Amino acid sequence: MTLRVEFVTDLGARVSLEVQNENELLEVQRRYGRLGWYSGDVPPGGFQFPLDNEPDFDWALLGGRKFKNDEGEDCVWCRGAVYKRRELAAVDTKKLRLPAAVKYSRGARPGDPDYLREKSDGEIEYVTLAIFRGGRRNEAYATRTARPESLPAGNSGAAARRPTPSRY
């Protein structure tokens, strides 16, 4: 079976590739994601992943890179924006029951479509890249621990040559 995946490069060019199966698809997404390329659009509410995947999630799958900002907060640089890590407490009311979660979000911008905007307490609106809640861990989403000897830990391929954004 042949699958086709379309990427958008960090400069906005569209590139189509063919892969042989689902496993190869994830590896291709990792490889090109390390360059800042991404495939697909962020769904309303953000991508949904199991909470157990959050500590070692491979952000290259979405075209992103994790880093710490000047205040020491965990952030992800993805698709031209910085998303901050936010911990959400569990909710247990008569109307709503949700387990604790971790999400990566940013303040909404004037050009963001309404379907991506989330309202919070007050007038602040957010756009979520990803939310980690419940579910079973998926090893396919975890970072690979084995690294080529020529690269320092925490860096891979072209991403090792690019500067990490420090503050935006």
Query: Domain range for residue 127?
Result: 42-161
pLDDT tens sequence across 106-127 = 999 999 999 999 987 778 899 9
- Could you tell me which residues come within 8 angstroms of residue 112 by beta carbon, excluding any fewer than 6 positions away? 127
Q: Where are the beta strands (DSSP E) in the chain?
A: 3-8, 14-19, 47-49, 64-68, 74-78, 81-88, 91-92, 97-98, 101-107, 117-119, 125-133
Would you say residue 19 lies in a domain? no
Would you say residue 111 lies in a domain? yes
Six token digits for residue 95? 């109307």
Buried b (16+ CB within 10 A) or exposed e, 103-140: bbbbebeeeeeeebeeeeeeeebbbbbbbbbeeeeeee
Domain count, the chain: 1
Task: For the beta carbon of residue 66, count every other beta carbon within 10 angstroms.
Answer: 20
Count the residues in the chain.
168
Would you say residue 20 lies in a domain? no
Would you say residue 72 lies in a domain? yes
Would you say residue 50 lies in a domain? yes
Would you say residue 13 lies in a domain? no
* Res. 1 pLDDT band, cuts 50 70 90: confident
Question: Distance (Å, rounded) from C-alpha 21 to C-alpha 17?
Answer: 12
pLDDT tens sequence across 20-64 = 998 899 999 999 999 999 999 999 999 999 999 999 999 999 999
pTM above 0.85, yes or no: no
Torsion 91-142-58-70 (CA) sign = positive
Among 31, 36, 29, 44, which Cα is nearest to 131's? 44
* Alpha helices per DSSP H over the chain: 22-33
Would you say residue 23 lies in a domain? no
* Res. 16 pLDDT band, cuts 50 70 90: very high
Window from 14-18, 84-88, 146-150 with minimum mean pLDDT: 146-150
Would you say residue 22 lies in a domain? no
